[in-house]
Structure 1
């Protein structure tokens, strides 16, 4: 289980790595800086499609040879899961968690079926071409199950997230403590993904990061302690 969770943590690094570029584009294009709307919207497009980006990145990260076919399977899995669950219950919003789940399943299916050989009359669909097909079939079943399972889970996640947000400095302290505690085993990225992209809601935006960019005055407290250190800690150490 620890190895599996560590693989998730490592896989999350690929989609997370694109966030600095997206944030720079979004900020530089604002009215009080360069005032170039198309640059701001270019960065905003990445944040609007984070769940899809996570589905691709996690699928590629989970595949044993980081093949793009796994990424395609991740996209297909995410689209099937999203539309399937919402057809059952339109209030379901799995967000980034849906992307991560789709990526994990697609990556595991890629590792299992990327070398499969079908009968000659189906030979065109052998190997890596079979992966998106079997992913779509599996995700239909997953979407049906999650259409009924996910609503109470979603309520529980929202409740936990809202408690952490309402706790203010205490909630930030708990998050920071768990973040440092999980670093040695590489699981802090799993926790970060929940806090940055899932917990809390403001005008349709979820997570501390998205809510901050959406203008939520209460967002940003879970990121504020990290970025000064990440941006200036290493240069300061080098200067010292």
Structure 2
């Protein structure tokens, strides 16, 4: 049972990553739009006041905000296609149609019951306009639910074949036929159920929000301590994109979730102080500062003869963490060798977030340091108090460095460059060609017949296998990686940012073998 639960949660976490990885780009483009129309910036760069530039800025901002305001449909399509094991584009199209069916089913039911409120008075009513259709405001929940349902049913029905007159309903058309009544049931059923759920959500907006510094500490700690499981996405997603991250009304529009609110507040001169972006910045302070201190500590603690080798490992991982906000290549450099450092990392992240809360810092820090600099300069000191954010970050860097260095030396932790004198993984890797030989990965996973499905997220190759006893770590480790995570029949191999290329090579290799 435990393995089944882990498999379900792991699959969900993996599917959530697919739409999320594009939102950083949306946020960055939104920032560019804000910078162009921001009067403070245009005072320094006068030509930005010209009509063409103002038009461009408004187009960039409004078009990207439209994406953020309709995250439900983004998640419905993204999650369904991520779950689909084949013909992902068909699953995405079906999910879109099911989402439309759900919206009109709920809208029709509310209308027939006389429960549609005046569209001009949506704030506090529990209703919202979604793609122009007035429904109960379920936030991104329904998009996530539809995406999961479509993905689950699609994989079990897309190959269904009928004969005779029913043949036209075979395959993915049968999937659509199966899902339409489910979508109608959701639309009608949630009309009665969701108001009670809204009451629970309203009270739950609580622990992290209402517990002040303790809530922020808990949030930061959980977001990092769950990294090895790949389930940390389940911690920050509700706060970023649902009522848990706050709800505000501006100009007749309702914004729910820390990220949409922060994006809106950036471009609204009437907002003099950010409200919920303390959650949006989340653990990025550790990505840009704390882990730099950790990396320096590991480098200085490495044996002299290994420092050059360690530098080649840590430097790219550190740059990735600071510039892009992807931390796994660096975190996995010490996770397996010294798990206690992950606990310290999570505790210090929570402490930093609690400190920012106490100091009334609301600066935006989503993504990497380039995003942070651009977005906070555009918003201004009054809204964000961003100089204090950087001051806390620098202090955090020093604290990470001191604690990591003391623990590594005192406990003789085997971080990179401190391995006992024997053939290390890195030395074994040097025996392998620079070109990735994916045959080692496939053979290490038990061979082609043992592989059920291959997928990837930002940094991990995720493989579902039939028999975990056939796994051979020594073969997999002949291809450079940052660690192997085993959870029953779900195997994750950490490759970092090049994981997409590795996934393509593995897919091509498997197709070649099957065709021969």
CA RMSD of aligned residues (A): 2.4
- For residues 39 and 231 of structure 1, what CA distance do their matches in structure 2 show? 27
- For residues 184 and 101 of structure 1, what CA distance do their matches in structure 2 show? 25
The answer as to 2:117 corresponding to 1:67 is no
The answer as to 2:210 corresponding to 1:178 is no
The residue number in structure 2 matching 1:123 is 167
The residue number in structure 1 matching 2:144 is 100
Picking from 134, 138, 156, the partner of 2:182 is 138
CA contact (8 A) 2:81 2:92 kept: yes
Which structure 2 residues correspond to residues 73-222 of structure 1 after superposition, within 5 A? Answer: 73-86=94-107, 87-88=109-110, 90=116, 91=127, 92-198=136-242, 199=244, 200-203=246-249, 204-215=254-265, 217-222=274-279
- For residues 102 and 145 of structure 2, what CA distance do their matches in structure 1 show? 9
Instruction: Return the TM-score normalized by structure 2.
Output: 0.43
- For residues 177 and 231 of structure 1, what CA distance do their matches in structure 2 show? 16
Partner SS, residue 205 of structure 1: strand
- For residues 68 and 184 of structure 1, what CA distance do their matches in structure 2 show? 30
> Structure 1 residue 231: deviation in Å?
5.5
- For residues 141 and 209 of structure 1, what CA distance do their matches in structure 2 show? 31
Partner SS, residue 222 of structure 1: helix
The residue number in structure 1 matching 2:17 is 13
> Structure 1 residue 17: deviation in Å?
0.7
- For residues 70 and 190 of structure 1, what CA distance do their matches in structure 2 show? 23
Report which stretch shifted further, 47-56 or 153-162.
153-162
> Structure 1 residue 142: deviation in Å?
2.2
Picking from 61, 69, 73, the partner of 1:40 is 61
The answer as to 2:76 corresponding to 1:55 is yes
CA contact (8 A) 1:73 1:106 kept: yes
1:2-36 CA distance string (max 9 Å, x none): 21111111001111011111111111012125642
CA contact (8 A) 2:220 2:283 kept: no
- For residues 115 and 232 of structure 1, what CA distance do their matches in structure 2 show? 50
Query: Whose strand fraction is larger, Structure 1's or Structure 2's?
Result: 2
The residue number in structure 1 matching 2:302 is none
Report which stretch shifted further, 9-18 or 135-144.
135-144
Instruction: State the aligned residue count.
Output: 240
**Change in CA separation of 1:233 and 1:123 when aligned onto 2, cut-off 3 Å:** farther
Moved over 6 A (4+): 232-236
Partner SS, residue 18 of structure 1: helix
CA contact (8 A) 1:81 1:102 kept: no
- For residues 46 and 234 of structure 1, what CA distance do their matches in structure 2 show? 32
CA contact (8 A) 1:114 1:131 kept: yes
CA contact (8 A) 2:32 2:60 kept: yes
**Change in CA separation of 1:18 and 1:154 when aligned onto 2, cut-off 3 Å:** same
1:49-82 CA distance string (max 9 Å, x none): 2110000011111112261111112222222223
Q: Which runs of 5+ in 1 are unaligned?
A: none
Report which stretch shifted further, 60-69 or 204-213.
60-69
**Change in CA separation of 1:41 and 1:171 when aligned onto 2, cut-off 3 Å:** same
- For residues 121 and 81 of structure 1, what CA distance do their matches in structure 2 show? 29
> Structure 1 residue 173: deviation in Å?
1.4
1:200-228 CA distance string (max 9 Å, x none): 21111111111112227211111224334
**Change in CA separation of 1:109 and 1:225 when aligned onto 2, cut-off 3 Å:** closer
Query: Whose helix fraction is larger, Structure 1's or Structure 2's?
Result: 1
User: Larger relative CO (CA 8 A, sep 6+): 1 or 2?
Assistant: 1
- For residues 66 and 58 of structure 1, what CA distance do their matches in structure 2 show? 14
CA contact (8 A) 1:15 1:58 kept: yes
Larger radius of gyration between Structure 1 and Structure 2: 2
The residue number in structure 2 matching 1:226 is 283
1:114-155 CA distance string (max 9 Å, x none): 011133323233112222232222111222222222211122
> Structure 1 residue 186: deviation in Å?
1.9
